Amino acid sequence: MRATCYLVGAGPGDPSLVTARGLDLIRRADVIVYDYLVSDRLLDQAPAGAELVYAGKKGFDRHVSQDQINALLIGKVRELETRTGEAVKSTAEKTATAAAAVVDGDGPVLVRLKGGDPYVFGRGGEEALALRAAGIPFEVVPGVTAGIAAPAYAGIPVTHRKMASSVTLVTGHEDPTRTESSLDWPALAALVARGDTVCFYMGVHALPRLVQRLQEEGASPQTPVALVRWGTTPNQQTLVSTLDSVSQDVARAGFLAPAVIVVGRTIGLRDHLSWYERLPLFGRTVVVTRSHTQANGLVGRLRDLGADVREVPAIAFEEPDSHADLDAGIERLGTYDWLVFTSANGVQRFFDRLRTTFGKDARALAGVLVAAIGPGTARALLGQGISADLVPDDYRAEGMFAAMRDYATCHVEQGLAGARVLIPRAQEARETLPQLLREAGAQVDLAAAYRTVIPEGGDVEDLRAALAAGRVDAITFTSSSTARNFCRMVGPDAAALMEGVAACSIGPITSQTLRELDIEPAVEAARYTVGGLVSAIRDHYQT
């Protein structure tokens, strides 16, 4: 089958700024050839078997030449075609059909992933020409370019009806083999003099020369200049100055590439329009200890508030030692009055078992009251087609018991006495709920649906180094097990390393566990949910 090469713009830094089409192709890619500045989080979206090839050219350290990259792309396409049985034609034959090279909708996919937009100073044009010359079908997926996005995240609109009628994208890194500048400095200076916007890419090294040339051609020394470094990422830094002092300011601040240099009147709007750097968690590094499968909501919400989020899962889920209790429970499902879920994971495991081992679905729960400990668990139930009969206001064992007791007293005379309850849950769960229920006269069956373990292969040394260097502001703990596992993972000096780091707890039970581990929580959620935890962290840093 014919392979297609897609020149995809990865966007300026924030991986969520990739286009929908770009992401779709990354998720279907057989091979991804990517550049420096492309986010790992985008590469994480590639299918499990995809081959990832780094072809970066960082700054002036040109360890890979453009010719080598072109050859690599062509070579990878040929490899994919051979793998999928495309008859190997001679190069001449392929070149002859170059003009007719059409995309084969089903063929293998090579994604050439480039920072920002592939055709804006990305050498995408050169790669496309090389592909065309080799008769390889290609498509271009434009991306959000840094010269526009980084200023936008810094509060600088590159045009404004009354202030700047044009924006010019310029390379600050000219071909060193040329003696004459390829830039039209008088024209650039004239634009700048009108207040229009000029964005220089790759210009940090050449900054003194850029500002000198603009001034020589008549731009005012007072013209505003801004540099935006690592734009659209949690490491974004903005420096605002004027043409005559920016070189000094940049040197003094030790401000390095990659940065976009913006010259123009709209920079003045930053005082009113800065938003990203003002997000409540901007500049804060937050470690999330949830499992990968569960962390999504939490991680996304923290990132929305500007945090630099590191995922260090301290918990993973595995099959329980035995399914005997769960299977027995499922077999007798119809005889229970209550089915109580204490985690979303428990819901998932219970229904997986119901389906795979018993060939049954949600209908098997008919006639049984279903309780969920909190909104996350209730959502997981909805995903299985079950609307929970009961969700307590207090998302703890104590709250669940009180809600069940109240519900039962309203509906049946004897309350919970004699009620039959099945609780599928973690093998090592707390005994509080079954105990309370039994004291109230209920007959409780516990069924291990999963086991929590400490995940293997996490980069603990990296985390320890970050903690020791004070590079972590906060760590979230969404359960007692994550707190315990985290301390076991980090080592016996975990509490000491946590000195000065805000431990953020989802609720009082987790806080209690943290205290037992010698860690005093700095933040405790008032609502014991992921949303409640995020609000509490935001409030902690906003005050």
Interface with ligand SAH (CB under 6 A) = 12-13, 37, 114-117, 120-122, 145-146, 150, 201-202, 228-233, 257-260
CB atoms within 10 A of CB 178: 8
3-state secondary structure of 339: strand
* Residues in CB range of 201: below 8 A, 6 or more apart: 120, 121, 146, 147, 169, 170, 171, 172, 173, 260
- Closest to ligand SAH by CB, 175 vs 321, is 175
| Nearest-approach distance from CB 72 to ligand SAH, in angstroms | 18
Return the number of the residue (37 or 333) whose C-beta is nearest ligand SAH: 37
State the minimum distance, in angstroms, from the CB of residue 122 to ligand SAH: 3
Of 43 and 390, CB closest to ligand SAH? 43
Backbone phi and psi for residue 537, each to the nearest 5 degrees, phi listed first: -65, -45
Q: Please give the residue whose beta carbon sits closest to ligand SAH in the complex.
A: 116
Q: How far is the CB of 252 from ligand SAH (least distance, A)?
A: 20
58: which DSSP letter?
B
Helix axis angle, 508-516 to 480-490, nearest 10°: 30
Task: Between 43 and 312, name the residue whose CB sits nearer to ligand SAH.
Answer: 43
Distance CA 467, CA 26 (A): 33
| Residue at 377: amino acid letter | T
Q: Which is nearer to ligand SAH, 260 or 525 (CB)?
A: 260
CB-based contact 399:315 (threshold 8 Å): no
Nearer to ligand SAH, 126 or 318 (CB): 126
Shortest Å distance, C-beta 145 to ligand SAH: 3
Q: Which is nearer to ligand SAH, 202 or 330 (CB)?
A: 202
Of 337, 504, 346, 319, the residue nearest 405 (C-alpha): 337
- Which amino acid type is present at position 133? A
Is the preceding peptide bond at 258 cis, omega within 30 degrees of 0? yes
Which residues are designated catalytic? 35, 57, 202
Least distance CB 232 / ligand SAH (angstroms): 6
Give least dist CB 271 to ligand SAH, A.
20
H helix runs in 60-181, sequence order: 66-83, 91-96, 124-133, 146-153
d(CA 36, CA 410): 64
Q: CA-CA distance, 183 to 217, in Å (whole number)?
A: 12
- Give min distance, CB of 516 to ligand SAH, in A: 43
**CA gap 451, 531 in Å, rounded:** 25
Q: In terms of CB distance, is 122 or 137 closer to ligand SAH?
A: 122
Closest of 239, 219, 217 to residue 229, by C-alpha: 239
CB of 115 to ligand SAH, least distance (A): 5
For every residue of 11-47, which 3-state class applies, written as one string?
A: ECCCHHHCCHHHHHHHHHCCEEEECCCCCHHHHCCCC
Strand arrangement, sheet containing 51-54? 51-54, 31-34, 109-114, 4-9, 138-141
